[in-house]
Amino acid sequence: MAECTNCKEESTHVWKHRRPTETTTHRTVEWLCARCHPGMSDTLRNEGA
C-alpha cells in the first residue's frame, strides 16, 4: 500500500499531484489519496468511506 503525502495514511490508491510553488516555474510533486486530492470528484471520495 502507498502512503498519502498529505495525511500520512496508507491507501490502496494514490494520485500524483503537482502543487505550484512560490515561483511559477517549479512544482512540488505530492502523492495524495482521494480524500486529499483537489481534483477528485465527490463520488470517488465517498466510495471508500
Query: What pTM does this model have?
Result: 0.65
Q: What is the pLDDT of residues 12-27, one digit of tens each?
A: 999 998 888 887 778 8
| Confidence at 42, pLDDT banded by 50, 70, 90 | low
Distance, in Å, from the CA atom of 35 to the CA atom of 41, rounded to the nearest integer, reads 10
Confidence of residue 41 (pLDDT cuts 50, 70, 90): low
| Contact (Cβ atoms closer than 8 angstroms) between residue 29 and residue 18 | yes
3-state SS class at 6: coil
Helix (H) or strand (E) holding 31: strand 27-32
Question: What is the torsional sign of CA 26, 22, 30, 32?
Answer: negative
Q: What is the model's pLDDT at position 3?
A: 95
